[in-house]
Each structure stands twice: as structure tokens, then as C-alpha cells.
Amino acid sequence: MTELAAVKAALKTQAVETPSWAYGNSGTRFKVFAQQGVPRTPREKLEDAAQVHAFTGVAPTVALHIPWDKVDDYAALAKFAEERGVKLGAINSNTFQDDDYKLGSICHPDAAVRRKAVDHLLECVDIMDATGSRDLKLWFADGTNYPGQDDLRARQDRLAEGLAEVYGRLGDGQRMLLEYKFFEPAFYSTDVPDWGTAYAHCLKLGEKAQVVVDTGHHAPGTNIEFIVATLLREGKLGGFDFNSRFYADDDLMVGAADPFQLFRIMYEVVRGAGFSPEVAFMLDQCHNIEAKIPAIIRSVMNVQEATAKALLVDREALAVAQASGDVLEANAVLMDAYNTDVRPLLAEVRGEMGLDADPMGAYRRSGWAEKIVAERVGGEQAGWGA
Ligand code: LRH
Ligand code: MN
Ligand code: MN
């Protein structure tokens, strides 16, 4: 295989998971701007996700968030998805929207609240059994607002205990992905604030526990690709929640704010694990002012562009420059790949996959947007403006 053929083959096998909550109405804590035609049910979210996959060819799975996507029969939901050409992906737990969780969930000082939180996580594993999902994605809003409010170490003990119970319930081939975030909604301390804390818990739990990197969950200036490289080296990178940010957890389209950072991250992935299915590429975004489906298509394309550039890095030339201490040349090799216009290459890849070379245009011309505006009245809110 020529080098270019190998790059194309890799691009065809990449899979980006889209989040059910990105299809519904969302906003900030100030205002949700409702859009016409947005899904009213989990099934309608899956119909929209199927459109993203139909036009990009690389978005075959959809993450659910429970209870936002609560249904009576999850096996039937999985079947509905498959009939439309997509599969259900990660199950995201939600232990942050009930009044009971004011002081935390799995780290709460009251054992009864902790029980409720852990029971919810166990219920999520039941759902995974029904849907055939591999990953349980955990993010905890737990933390404190004031020094002295609770015992920081005791909260870690409670976290470890709760996680261990859920870990013990995982079946063969199921994984637990632990997500960290440096602040918000808690402002003084957060119980899983960084990759180190997530890594320490996952290491103790065992092989089925992996860290998930949400690109919006770091302090400004953090070198995320270093975290990615380190977790890959340790065999502990379970996946990504991709989005982009200018300030905090902005949940904007991935690659919009800083495409160069996305490229640097993807370079560490392709030189580390390649496209091992162990690393899940998930989007975690909310489209507050832009149309949902085209925004998600754009994000998928942005991931593809960053990946294509990462795959084009001349690794041999880079290694030579690095070994000889040629700082400028090493940097130039990386920048050469980043500065390549990969859009024609991706158009070719799409053509070879039997797709329209222009997914955005093809979606626009498909009439789906008009159809859902006409058919769906009263779309639902994602549940939370994050
Ligand atoms: C938290 C988070 C987490 C949630 C999602 C809605 O900020 O990134 O992944 O599940 O947003
Ligand atoms: Mn996330
Ligand atoms: Mn987030």
C-alpha cells in the first residue's frame, strides 16, 4: 500500500460517536433558544444522528444520557437505531440534576444519597446490557464551594467505594470511563478535577476502568496532548469527549476554537494507539445558536481534518530531526502536515466510500431540515444547558 493509500484507509475506519443531547434544544443558564424541528424523543434524536452518519460515513454510534434518554425498552431502542443504520454507544450517567445531589452524589456525606447515586449507575449498566453498549461514561458534578464544607479525603474514600461497587457489576467486554473536569458546578473543590485523580482511581479499579478526556475540561493553557500521550503510554486512555472552548467548558463545535490543538491531540493518538477501538472518539457538544445537525456534521468533519493532518506527519523526517536536535526542522515537519489542505483528500475518501464529497451541502440539499420542521412540533430540551 502506498503511504497515501494507508492514510485513506485509516480515515475510512475512523468512527466518531455523536451525543444524543447535541440534537435537542440547549442553551446557557441564561437562555435556551428553542429551534424548530428538534427531536422530541430519543427515537427522533437517533433519526437525526442517522443523518449525520449517512452524510459523513464515520459517525456510526450515538451516545445516550440517562435519564434524558429514558425509555421503557432499551433493546427496542437499540433495534430502532440499527434499522436506521446506527448503533447505540456509550451510556452517560446523570447524578447531577436531582435536588438530592446538592452536596454531591457518590461523594455525598449522606449514605442514603450515595446509595441513590450508585443505584443509578448500576441501572446504567443494566441499560448497557440491553443496548449492547460497551462503555459507561461517568462524570460527577461532585465537589464543594467553601473550604471546610466537607472532608476532601473522606470524599475520595466515598468515591472509591462507590466506583468499586459499580466496577464489580461490569460484565465481560464492558468498561467504565471516568471523566474529569477542573471546576463547575463546584467552585472550591471538585472530586474528580484532573486526569491524575481519574487515573489513580482507574488504576486501583482495574483494566476495565479508563480515563476519558473531555477537551473542554482543563484550565486555559493546559497541554492536553501531553495528558493524552501519558494516558496512552499507561494504557489508560478510554476515549475523548470532543468539543472546543475559548473560556471554560464552552461545548462548542470541536476544532472551531483551536484546530491546531485538535491536530496536536490527534497526532499523539495516531502515533500512540493508531485507531485502536480502545480509544473512543466521542463528541460532547451543545449547539445553542446554530442548527444542530449541520453543526454536528461540521464537528465530525473537523475531527477528520485534524486526523488526516496528523496521519500526514512525516514521522521518519520528524524522528531524524528530533534525534539530531534540529529544533526548527522538527517543528517545521509537524507544521508542514498541519498546514496541508486535506479537504481534497477527504473529498476523495468520501467519493471512494460512496458518499457525497460535500457532506454539508448534501445534507442541505436532502430536505431533511425542512421535513423535521414540518413534522416535529415542540422539540425537547437536552435537559441541561451544558
Ligand atoms: C460535564 C459533561 C459530562 C456530561 C456532559 C453533558 O461538563 O462534559 O460529559 O455528561 O457534560
Ligand atoms: Mn463531557
Ligand atoms: Mn463538559
Pocket test for ligand 1, best of 181, 254, 287 (most atoms within 8 A of CB): 181
pLDDT for 140-190, tens place per residue? 999 999 999 999 999 999 999 999 999 999 999 999 999 999 999 999 999
Q: Which ligand is nearest to the CA of 90?
A: 1
Mean pLDDT over all residues of the chain?
96
Q: Which ligand is nearest to the CA of 21?
A: 1
Does ligand 1 have an atom closer than 6 angstroms to the CB of 249?
A: yes
Q: How confident is the model at residue 1 (pLDDT cuts 50, 70, 90)?
A: low
Residue 382's pLDDT is: 59
Three-class SS of the chain: CCHHHHHHHHHHHCCEEEEHHHCCECECCCCECCCCCCCCCHHHHHHHHHHHHHHHCCCCEEEEECCCCCCCCHHHHHHHHHHCCCEEEEEECCCCCCHHHHHCCCCCCCHHHHHHHHHHHHHHHHHHHHHCCCEEEECCCCEECCCCCCCHHHHHHHHHHHHHHHHHHCCCCCEEEEECCCCCCCCCEECCCCHHHHHHHHHHHCCCEEEEEECCCCCCCCCHHHHHHHHHHCCCEEEEEECECCCCCCCECCCCCCHHHHHHHHHHHHHHCCCCCCCEEEECCCCCCCCHHHHHHHHHHHHHHHHHHHHCCCHHHHHHHHHCCCHHHHHHHHHHHHCCCCHHHHHHHHHHCCCCCCHHHHHHHHCHHHHHHHHCCCCCECCCCC
Calculate how far, in angstroms, residue 214's C-alpha sits from the geometric centre of ligand 3.
7
pLDDT at position 369 over 90: yes
